[in-house]
Structure 1
Amino acid sequence: MFTAVVTVLTALWVGFSALSIFIRAKWVVEPLSEYGVARRWWPWLGTAKAAGAAGLLAGLVVPVAGVMAGIGLVLYFTGAVITVLRARSYAHVPFPLLYLAPVVAVLALGPVA
């Protein structure tokens, strides 16, 4: 039960991140511009996060889907950390980590039995 709750909360958190890109929330898109992420990539980044969130939820029924989504999100948010570091915006490193950590936790907890 605990794993399911953590998974749902993580999926909602990642989904919120996706929505923030889709609605072009100022606090998300301004840093993306500063990091040099091209605008044409923003919809794809939001779609990747939304798909990952949906995959985590699907993993409640089909565990392999959740594991694959979790791996994809770990890669995504690791890439986000690298992007922030390359932009030398060190004060912003904690932000992608706030999304990466719960995804890692879901993967560490394992499939819902």
Structure 2
Amino acid sequence: MFLAYVVVGVLLALLLVSSGRAKLVKDEKIVTGMRSIGVPDSWLPRLAALEIAGALGLLIGIFFRPLGIAAAIGVVLYFVGAVVTHIRGKDVKGTPIPGVLLLAGAAALILGIASA
């Protein structure tokens, strides 16, 4: 279980850092999508910080499991909010990516608890 947590945690952390970076540099594709569902530009740095913090927490969680579990809970909650925001914004096409990341966060959480 530990090795599975490491693999899922590292891959999810890479995706989170990439997504956070895209928000920080205001990648046009990301900004356009966020605006279309009603997310103000002023939220982008905060959302990026949450993603990067989640990534760091997952990576540190390899060595200190309670932090990894807490980070995975935060990632799950973040992406529940993202899925809900896409649904409320009537952006069904934009829902799969946060949905997959929600499932990856749930996998990291389950594996983190199982290998603690």
TM (norm. structure 1) is: 0.93
Q: Which amino acid aligns with 2:19?
A: S
Alpha-carbon distance between aligned partners in 1 of 2:29 and 2:100, rounded to the nearest angstrom = 15
Q: Which amino acid aligns with 1:11?
A: A
Give the 3-state SS of the residue equivalent to 1:60 in structure 2: coil
Alpha-carbon distance between aligned partners in 2 of 1:23 and 1:101, rounded to the nearest angstrom = 26
Alpha-carbon distance between aligned partners in 1 of 2:29 and 2:54, rounded to the nearest angstrom = 22
Alpha-carbon distance between aligned partners in 2 of 1:44 and 1:31, rounded to the nearest angstrom = 17
Alpha-carbon distance between aligned partners in 2 of 1:78 and 1:94, rounded to the nearest angstrom = 12
From 96, 99, 103, the counterpart of 1:97: 99
- Give CA deviations for 1:6-57 in whole Å, capped at 9, x if unaligned: 2111111111111111111122111100111111111000000000000000
Alpha-carbon distance between aligned partners in 2 of 1:97 and 1:79, rounded to the nearest angstrom = 10
Quick one: percent identity of the two aligned structures? 36
RMSD value over aligned CA atoms? Answer: 1.3
Mapping of 1:1-113 within 5 angstroms? 1-111=3-113, 112=115
Q: Which amino acid aligns with 2:25?
A: I
Deviation for aligned residue 1:81: 0.5
Runs (4+) of structure 1 exceeding 6 A deviation are none
Alpha-carbon distance between aligned partners in 2 of 1:59 and 1:89, rounded to the nearest angstrom = 33
Alpha-carbon distance between aligned partners in 1 of 2:92 and 2:4, rounded to the nearest angstrom = 34
Alpha-carbon distance between aligned partners in 2 of 1:47 and 1:94, rounded to the nearest angstrom = 22
Q: Which amino acid aligns with 1:48?
A: L
Structure 1: runs of 5+ lacking an equivalent: none
